Structure formats: C-alpha cells, structure tokens
Structure 1
Amino acid sequence: MSSLTVTGVTRSFPSTAPGRAATRAVDDVTLHVPHGSFTTVLGPSGCGKTTLLRLVAGFLQPESGSIAFGDEVVAGDGVRPMPPQTRRVGYVPQEGALFPHLDVAANIAFGLPRAARAAGGGDRVAEMLDLVELPADFRDRRPDELSGGQQQRVALARSLAPQPALVLLDEPFSSLDAGLRGSTARAVRRALQATNTTAVLVTHDQNEALSLADQVAVMRAGRLVQSAPPSEVYLSPTDPAVAEFVGRAVVLPGTADAAHATCALGEVVLTEPTEGPVSLMIRPEQVHVDLSHTAGDKVIGVRGTVEEVSYYGHDCAVQVRLDEGTSVLARMSGVLHPAAGDRVHLRVTGLVRAYHPTEAL
C-alpha cells in the first residue's frame, strides 16, 4: 500500500470542431492522498474527475506534471510511464464489469497469480467474500444471479484480492437505488478501512462524497478548487460556487463591519472579522423559521411569506420570499413546518462565512 501524489498534472484532448483549441480536461492539478486514507473527487459531469482517475491508473498519460505512488514516480518528470498492469492499481468501474461467463470465485481470483487462479482462488476468495460482507456460498454464483449492490461488492473484492497499492473507484454506486447505494457504499468503505487501502472515489453525489471520505477534492472546469476534510469543505468552502455545489447554500450580498455583517436576513456573525462589501454564505439549516413571530412583545427576525415547502419526512426545505423581495431557502424539522402562503420570520443562527468580491469570482 502507498500514498498517491499528483503534482501539477495537465491533460488536454483535441477539439472535434475545426479551428477550435484543444479542451484542457485536467488543468494543473495537485493532490496528495495519504497512505491508507479515502479521498473523494467531487464535481459535476465534464469537470475532469474521471480523466484524473484514468491518468492515475495509467490509461492516459499526463502532458505535464507527475504522478507518484509513495516515493516512486509512475508518470511524468521525464520518466518512462509505468504501464497500467504494473502499477498495482485496483480499478472498480461504474458498472462493476464482472466477467459474465465466470462465477464469483473466478471473478475474484482473476487478478491473482496463475497457480492461485488454477486452484480456484483458495482461501483468498473466501477472505475477500468475508471482507466485502457476502456469504461464502456466493462463490459459485454467476454475476446475473447477483443484485447490483452484490455485483459491486464482488468487483471490489476482485480489485482488492491482488493487494493493490491503490484502489480507484469510478462512480461505482451511481446505478443503484438510494437505499442499496448507501448500504453498498458503507460496506465498501469498511472493507477498505479493514485492509488499510489507499482509495480514491470519483462521484458527483455530494452526500456520498461528504459521508465516506477522509478528504474531499472538489473539481471545476478541470481545476482542483479545494481539497480538505469534509467538514471544512462544507463549512468553509473556498468560494461561493463551491458552497452552492457542496450542499445547498444561500449566498447574499452584505456589508461587513468587523465581526458582524448586515444583509437581507438582518445582522449575522462572521467566522472571521472583515470590512466592506461581501458575499455571505449561509447554509439553509442556519436559517431559523420562526412560526410564532415574536418573543414577548419583540418581533424576532425578518418577515417573509412561504412560497413553497418540499417535505422529506425527517426534514423539509422551505422557500421564503422576504418582504423586501429576496428569496431564501431554509431547512427545518419535518415535525412542525409552515405551509405555502404562511407569514413567518427568519433569522440566522451560527457563524457565517464572508467572501470579498475577488474571492467570489
């Protein structure tokens, strides 16, 4: 097992339109994944995250920069690129890609030495089935006898069987339904932790990225715009665009004066003192919806009218149009909530992150 270090890596693809410049899919990306850790690469479709994964795997080569496993450079820096088959990388594609003509045992044993494959994988197959939390009698089943989640667990077992230096997962849960997706993802995470395997997961699902990872790397238009622990990415995004992509966010213009700022939602307390015009990032769960409107004779918060309520059971999203015209989103418990047309008061709880205009670009 080893760490992964990507340094200044760039990769472009020629344009299919005559006269148009090449598309830079990965643009000067630098990322470190510590040994035994789990990093999610998060971004919208087309941002370059799968290209980055394929560069690490060796399916593509960087135009500039370098890729290293531990202290060994496998691509770039003037060295001859190490071919994919010798990089000791386990790769789990989106659909699992099990061999349909082989049973589970043969699929798991596929990457083992020839003698081990000839013996049916022996104890290693049993060990891998236990690791990914599948019954031992699954070894004789065919892929078409497995559910989607079971197929993904077998695909992970196949990638872990040869004891790779690194496991790469390319949106392996995207085709599963919500409940199965969550349980399969957690089982995969437990298996990787049990073997202390360094892993990188590509996803466009914010909840998946935040709940599974030790580190979240956010990509946008080929560039890595933030890499940090999940709580830091969520609570202290580098710019408003990251804030709005990683979870939902209310971004409002305001004016800062030291530790406080004023905006359409009234006065808020800032994470760091600053001065002047700012953009304020407020998470919807920080917007408190007051249904009673007052505390004694004192009116609390800013008045508005509920436009829409999206009910999810455990909580709900409430869209409110403030009297001055701004529309804001709040999240609150699903136990007691307003209805469209209700008059409410809103106020902000907790600390708010402020961005100056140059940071908000």
Structure 2
Amino acid sequence: MSSLTITGVTKAFGTGPEATRAVDDVTLHVPHGSFTTVLGPSGCGKTTLLRLIAGFLLPDAGSIAFGDTTVAGDGVRPVPPQSRHVGYVPQEGALFPHLDVAANIAFGLPAAARGSQEGRDRVTEMLDLVELPSHFRDRRPDELSGGQQQRVALARSLAPQPAVVLLDEPFSSLDASLRGTTATAVRRALAATNTTALLVTHDQNEALSLADQVAVMRGGRLVQSAPPSEVYLSPSDPQVAEFVGRAVVLPGTATDAHATCALGEVVLSEAATGPVALMIRPEQVYVDLAHADGVRGSVEEVSYYGHDCAVRVRLDDGTSVLARMAGVRHPSAGDIVHLRVTGLVRAYRPAGAP
C-alpha cells in the first residue's frame, strides 16, 4: 500500500483549436491508507483521471506517483498498467461469467498460488473481508445480486494487495437501499486493510459519507479538495456549494461580521464588506409555522421524504427560497410562513467583482 500523488496532470483529446482538455492541470495528494472521492458531474474528467492513474492513458503533462515511485510523467518512462499494482473496480464489476467466485477472486494472484492452499485461504480471507459467506466461493456471477457482485469485484482487486484501489462509480447501477449497504461494506473492507483508495462518483451523498477527503472537479479542473465537512460547510465558490448539496445563494450587503439579504440579517463565518453572494444551506432556513417572527412568504411546494421535507417558499419580495425541515410537522402549499436563518453564513465576492 502507498500514497498517491498527482502533480499538474493534463490530458487533452484532439489536436489544435478543436482539442478538449478532459483533465486540466490537476494536483491531488491521497495519503497512505486514506479514502478519497473525486466528485463531479458527467463529463468533468473524473473517469479520465482514474484511467490516467491506472495507466490506461498517458498524461500530456504532469506526473503521477505511488509513494516515492513515479509511474508516469515528464522525462519518466511510463510504467505499464499491469506493473503498477493497482486494483480497479469498474461500474459493473466486470466479473468473468465463466468462472466461479473463488476463481474470480484468485484471478489476480500469481498463477502458482491460484490452486494452492495459500490461494484458497486468501479467497476465504477476502470473502470474510467483504462480508460474504464462505460458501459463496462456488457460486457463479449470475447467481449473485448486483451488490454481491460488486463485493466480489472488490475482493478480486484486494487479493493481490495492490498499492492503490481505484473505484469507478461502482455503486451507480444498484438500487438505493443496496447502494448504501454495499458502499458501507466496501468502506469497511478498505479500512480494515489500510488500503489507499480513490473513488469517482457524481453522487454527493456517497462522496460525503464515505470519504476522508473529497476532491471536486468541474470542467476538467480540481476546484476544491478538503475533508467532507469542509467541502459542505465552506465550499470554494457558489457553484461548488450548489453542486455539493443544495444551497440557497442570495445577493447581499456585508458589514464586517453581518450581512443583509432577502432573508433579513445573517451572521457571517468570516468578516466581509460590500456586495456579496451569500451561501445558505436549506437546513439553515428555519420555517416558523406558529409565529410571525422572520421574513414572510407563501409556501409554493412541499417535497415530502418521510424523515424530512423540502419546502419551497416565495417571499413577499418575489425571492424563491428552499428550506429543509423535519418531516414530523410541515406546512402545505399555500400556507403563510415566516423564515429566518440560523447558524453562520459563508459570503463570496459576486461574479465579476474585482
């Protein structure tokens, strides 16, 4: 196992003015034994970055290193994929359909070990690690559920003790309940083996709940890399705020530690002065159903999820605001409510401001 360091990596497709930079000057460090998620919308370059790390593609500029060993970069002969000691878990698992579970898991082991007692013990160890019963070793892939197939794919990638494990949206094809339990089991397996892992996803909840570090990509560039709580509470710009969880972004005017906006006066996380864009999370917008304390508005829409609900409110000045509240008691469309902001609010310079 080792750390992963990506420095100034760029990859373009096409030539001349028509060239598209899928990955643009990306620098990222994944510490040894940690779990990092690369989060971004489709087409942002996250899968291309994964393929560069695996060695399926070569960077046009920059370098990639596992620990102290540079495997690709300027002036370095690239190490081929099969020699990088990387485990790779694709979206659909990609198990060999003609092999049983045991043979799939043992596939990455040295040929001499696959049929030996050592190989059989390793398969048993990997099944236990990914929380599958030992008798599953004799099953075919088509006898497994989607979540079980993904666990076997992870076991196969971990069996040879890789330097780094790369996961390419491995839970995207699973239903919601199966996705959560499978992702948690995978995270436990990686932590138990102290494996350095990098997962790419477009699912914000997945990225925040699984990772030690979240790296947000947009348009081929890395726009923020930080612990999940920092990315959520202190996003680098309003675009990251709106992508990583819902956000209410309102224009306002700041004076030191306070600012005024359509939702009244708010307290800032950092002092600012002048015109600002204020990022407010929906759960910070308190919906008062009983008192006329706050800014008045009319409920336009309620999306009920059971444990909570999202409430869209049109303020008297025409501003539309999203609030999130517990699902135990909530308003209905057409109700008059009053809103106020709780907690600290992050302020940004408006787009185009010097």
Given the two structures, how large is their TM-score scaled by the length of structure 1?
Answer: 0.96
Q: Pick from 34, 41, 44 the counterpart of residue 47 of structure 1.
A: 44
Report the CA distance between 1:77 and its aligned residue: 2.7
Aligned to 2:201: 203
Residue 304 of structure 2: aligned partner: 311
Measured at CA, do residues 359 and 93 of structure 1 come closer, stay the same or move farther in structure 2, by a change above 3 Å? farther
Cα distance in structure 2, aligned partners of 1:51 and 1:128:
29
> What is residue 234 of structure 2 aligned with on the other side?
236
The 5 Å alignment of 1:1-361 reads 1-14=1-14, 21-119=18-116, 121-294=119-292, 300-358=293-351
Structure 2 counterpart of 1:82, which letter?
A: V
- 1:20: Cα distance to partner? 5.2
Q: Is the 8 A contact 1:305 1:320 kept in 2?
A: yes
Please state how far the C-alpha of 1:278 moved relative to its aligned partner: 0.1
Query: Residue 241 of structure 1 contacts residue 360 of structure 1 at CA under 8 Å; is this kept in 2?
Result: no
Where structure 1 has 5 or more consecutive residues not aligned to the other structure, the ranges are 295-299
Deviation at 1:115, TM superposition (A): 1.1
Secondary structure class of the residue paired with 2:18: coil
The amino acid that maps onto 1:315 is D
Quote the Cα distance in structure 2 between the aligned partners of 1:188 and 1:134: 11
The list of structure 1 runs, each at least 4 consecutive aligned residues, that deviate by more than 6 angstroms after superposition, is none
Give the direction of change, closer, same or farther, for the CA distance of 1:175–1:264 in structure 2 (3 Å limit): same
Aligned partner of 1:297 in structure 2 is none
Kept after mapping to 2: 8 A contact 1:279/1:360: no
Deviations 1:140-180 (A, max 9, x none): 00000000000000000000000000000000000000000
Whole-angstrom CA distance in 2 between matches of 1:172 and 1:181? 9
**Number of residue-to-residue matches in the alignment:** 353
Question: Once structures 1 and 2 are overlaid, which stretch shifts more, 115-124 or 158-167?
Answer: 115-124
1:217-276 Cα shifts (integer Å, max 9, x gaps): 000000000000000000000000000000000000000000000000000000001100
Alpha-carbon shift at residue 293 of structure 1 (Å): 2.2
Amino acid at match of 1:351: L
- Tell me the distance in 1 between the aligned counterparts of 2:242 and 2:324: 15
In 1, the alpha carbon distance for the partners of 2:130 and 2:261 equals 50
CA distance in 2, matches of 1:70, 1:360: 41
- SS of the residue corresponding to residue 52 of structure 1 reads helix
Separation of aligned partners in 2, 1:293 and 1:172: 47
**Any unmatched runs of 5+ in structure 2?**
none
Residues in 2 aligned to 1:146 and 1:5: alpha-carbon distance in whole angstroms: 36
Identify which range, 119-128 or 248-257, moves more after superposition: 119-128
Return the alpha-carbon distance in structure 2 between the equivalents of residues 20 and 289 of structure 1: 51
Distance 2:17 2:75 in 1: 29
Following superposition, the deviation at residue 14 of structure 1 comes to 1.1
TM-score by length of 2: 0.98
CA distance 1:349–1:223, shift in 2 (3 Å): same
The one-letter code sitting in structure 1 at the alignment partner of 2:8 is G
Matched letter for residue 177 of structure 2 = G
In the TM superposition, residue 34 of structure 1 has moved relative to its aligned partner by 0.2
- Secondary structure of 1:149's counterpart equals helix
Q: Which amino acid aligns with 1:197?
A: T
* One-letter amino acid of the counterpart of residue 335, structure 2: D
